[in-house]
Chain A
Amino acid sequence: AQSVTQLDSHVSVSEGTPVLLRCNYSSSYSPSLFWYVQHPNKGLQLLLKYTSAATLVKGINGFEAEFKKSETSFHLTKPSAHMSDAAEYFCVVSGNTGFQKLVFGTGTRLLVSP
């Protein structure tokens, strides 16, 4: 079965410093991986996705993630944090039942201080 592990429940950064949110996945085949973000009282928004094309994926708002098969990782990064990046971030893998089912990590809450 597919699964993802988000290694940090909370990450705190200062505005203007780099962001690293860590995600490891488990899959019996080459998966599709996603990062979604949820701002307070908002819905889930897709940041980026990997679907076996380029291993470095660029998303919205300056975020990017690199698929590393050897490390089974899909970490999310951003060179410089902005106050508006404060939100909860979810690493997600497609399920193996017809691929439609999404399997979510437990989420990482990003706190950005001035």
Chain B
Amino acid sequence: EAGVTQFPSHSVIEKGQTVTLRCDPISGHDNLYWYRRVMGKEIKFLLHFVKESKQDESGMPNNRFLAERTGGTYSTLKVQPAELEDSGVYFCASSQDPGEGITQYFGPGTRLLVL
């Protein structure tokens, strides 16, 4: 069974540009999560999809970030325009069910560097 995949693995862009990150969850997983780790900080939750609906987007830092999950399959996270402080590693995770104690399976992350 394929795990969570993320594309690209690395992205280097200039301040003010747009970047779109993609996440493909494990097949059959309705729940999809985005997290990020900025330099020197802990990994923080961004948002949670259940199928195509945003269940919780309390961690989204500002309106420069837009997440979508068309058709309840893969998800994209767009940053527009990118700022220096957006640099970090963006992780995607998925789970079959929501709820306490349910394992979230993580992808390898996308390393974003904004210059």
Enumerate chain A interface residues (CB-CB to B < 8 A).
Answer: 32, 34, 36, 41-46, 49, 51-52, 90, 94-95, 97-107
Contact = CB atoms under 8 A, between A and B. Distances in A.
B91 A46 contact: no
A101 B4 contact: no
Contact of B48 (A49, A51, A90, A100): A100
A46 B103 contact: yes
Contacts of B87: none
Interface of A, helix, strand, loop or mixed by DSSP: loop
Contacts of A45: 106
Given A98-B55, A98-B56, A100-B48, A105 B104 contact: no
A94 B100 contact: yes
B31 interface: yes
Contact of A101 (B3, B41, B48, B109): B48
A76 B42 CA distance: 18
Contacts of A99: 98-102
Contacts of A44: 91, 93, 106
A43 B100 contact: no
Residue in B33, B100, B105 whose Cβ sees the most chain A Cβ within 10 Å: B100
B68 to A, nearest CB: 19
A52 to B, nearest CB: 8
A22 to B, nearest CB: 16
A102 B104 contact: yes
B2 to A, nearest CB: 13
B44 interface: yes
Contacts of B103: 34, 46, 49
